[in-house]
C-alpha cells in the first residue's frame, strides 16, 4: 500500500471487506461508510490495473495572450489511482504562478529552450450541503455536518516538464508463426500488480517558458504541448488504432 497518502488505499491490493446483513442489525455511520468504500475500492482497483489512466476526452489547454494564464476545456480523465476526474465546464482563467515559471527557468539553466511548466489535473473532494446532526444525548445543542462529497478537480503547476508517456506495452515473442503464444501472454500478465504511485495527478500539458527583455517570464500562447499527456486506452481509442493499422497495411500493397 502507498504510504504517502491514506486515500491511495482505495486503489491498493487489499482484501475486500463488505457488509453482511441480517435482521436486527444496527446500521450506523461506519456501516454505511464500509458499504460505500467497498464499491469505490473495487471500481478504483479494477480501473487502475485493467484500464490504466489518462485523458479520456476533452481537457484541451489554452494559454491566454498575456502568457500568464490558462484555462482547461471540459472533459474526463482517469487519475493514476483509478478515479474519474470530471471537468464539467470550461474553467475560469487560472494564473500560472510566477514563482513556478521562474523556478522552471532556473531549473533549465543554460538550456533555456527546455524551460517548461507542467500542467496537471488532480482529483479533489469538497464537502458541502450542511444539515443538522442530531445528537444522541438529551440537551445537547444541535450541530451541523456536511451531507455530501463533491468529486471535483484542481489544476496544479510544476516547474519541470513532463516525461512523455511510454509507448504502448509490447509483449516480446507473443506472436509466433501467425499465432498467439498463450504461455508468453500468461507469463507477461503474471509479472505482478503495481502498487498505486505516490502522485495520482494526470499531466495535461507542458507550457514552454520564455523570458522577455525585462526579465519577466511568460508562457507563449502557441507553445502548449499536449502531446505529453497520457491517453486512456478506451474502446474508442483501441478501435481507432486498429482501423489505422488496417489502413496502413492496405496501403502497403
- Taking only the tens place, the pLDDT of each residue in 47-57 is 999 999 999 99
Determine, yes or no, domain membership for 21.
no
Q: CA 105, CA 14: separation in Å to the nearest integer? A: 43
First to last CA, the chain: 51
Band (248; pLDDT cuts 50, 70, 90): confident
- Residue closest to 73 by CA, chosen among 204, 240, 218: 204
pLDDT value, residue 252:
65
Q: CA 175, CA 197: separation in Å to the nearest integer? A: 32
**What is the tally of structural domains in the chain?**
1
Determine, yes or no, domain membership for 162.
yes
Q: For the chain, what is the total number of helices (H) and then of strands (E)?
A: 4, 14
| Kind and range of the H or E run holding 231 | none
What's the predicted TM-score (pTM) here? 0.86
Joined together, the cell numbers standing for residue 234 give: 478506451
Enclosing domain of residue 38: 6-15+26-251
Average pLDDT value for residue range 41-67: 94
pLDDT value, residue 108:
87
Determine, yes or no, domain membership for 20.
no
pLDDT value, residue 132:
86
Residue 34's SS3 state is helix
Average pLDDT value for residue range 45-71: 94
Average pLDDT value for residue range 140-154: 87
Q: What does DSSP say about strands 179-180 and 175-176: parallel, antiparallel, or unpaired? A: antiparallel
pLDDT value, residue 136:
63
Q: Give the pLDDT confidence of 154-172 residue by residue, as tens digits.
A: 999 999 999 888 777 888 8
pLDDT value, residue 140:
64
pLDDT value, residue 1:
43
For the chain, state the CA radius of gyration.
24
Determine, yes or no, domain membership for 1.
no
- Residue closest to 196 by CA, chosen among 2, 55, 44, 5: 2
Determine, yes or no, domain membership for 157.
yes
* Number of neighbours of residue 204 by Cβ within 10 angstroms: 28
Determine, yes or no, domain membership for 129.
yes
Indicate the DSSP class of residue 182.
H
- The answer for residues whose C-beta is within 8 angstroms of residue 41's C-beta and 6 or more apart is 9, 10, 11, 14, 16
How many alpha carbons lie under 13 Å from residue 11 in its C-beta half-sphere? 28
Joined together, the cell numbers standing for residue 247 give: 489502413
Determine, yes or no, domain membership for 63.
yes
Determine, yes or no, domain membership for 203.
yes
Amino acid at each position: 500500500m502507498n504510504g504517502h497518502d491514506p486515500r491511495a488505499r482505495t486503489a491498493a491490493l487489499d482484501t475486500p471487506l463488505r457488509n453482511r446483513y441480517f435482521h436486527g442489525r444496527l446500521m450506523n455511520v461506519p456501516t454505511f461508510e464500509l458499504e460505500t468504500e467497498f464499491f469505490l475500492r473495487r471500481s478504483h482497483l479494477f480501473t487502475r490495473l485493467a484500464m490504466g489512466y489518462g485523458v479520456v476526452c476533452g481537457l484541451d489547454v489554452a494559454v491566454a495572450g498575456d502568457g500568464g494564464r490558462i484555462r482547461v476545456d471540459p472533459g474526463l480523465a482517469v487519475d493514476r489511482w483509478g478515479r474519474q476526474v470530471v471537468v464539467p465546464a470550461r474553467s475560469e482563467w487560472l494564473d500560472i504562478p510566477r514563482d513556478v515559471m521562474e523556478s522552471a527557468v532556473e531549473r533549465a539553466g543554460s538550456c533555456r529552450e527546455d524551460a517548461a511548466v507542467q500542467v496537471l489535473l488532480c482529483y479533489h473532494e469538497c464537502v458541502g450541503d450542511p444539515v443538522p446532526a442530531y445528537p444522541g444525548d438529551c440537551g445537547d445543542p444541535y450541530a451541523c455536518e456536511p451531507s455530501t462529497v463533491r468529486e471535483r478537480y484542481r489544476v496544479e503547476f510544476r516547474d519541470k516538464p513532463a516525461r512523455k508517456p511510454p509507448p504502448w506495452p509490447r509483449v516480446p515473442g507473443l506472436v509466433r508463426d501467425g499465432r498467439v503464444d498463450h504461455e508468453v501472454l500468461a507469463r507477461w500478465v503474471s509479472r505482478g500488480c503495481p502498487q498505486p504511485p505516490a502522485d495520482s495527478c494526470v499531466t495535461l500539458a507542458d507550457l514552454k517558458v520564455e523570458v522577455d527583455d525585462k526579465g519577466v517570464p511568460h508562457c507563449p500562447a502557441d507553445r502548449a504541448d499536449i502531446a505529453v499527456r497520457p491517453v486512456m486506452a478506451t474502446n474508442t481509442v483501441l478501435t481507432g488504432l486498429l482501423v489505422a493499422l488496417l489502413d496502413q497495411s492496405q496501403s502497403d500493397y
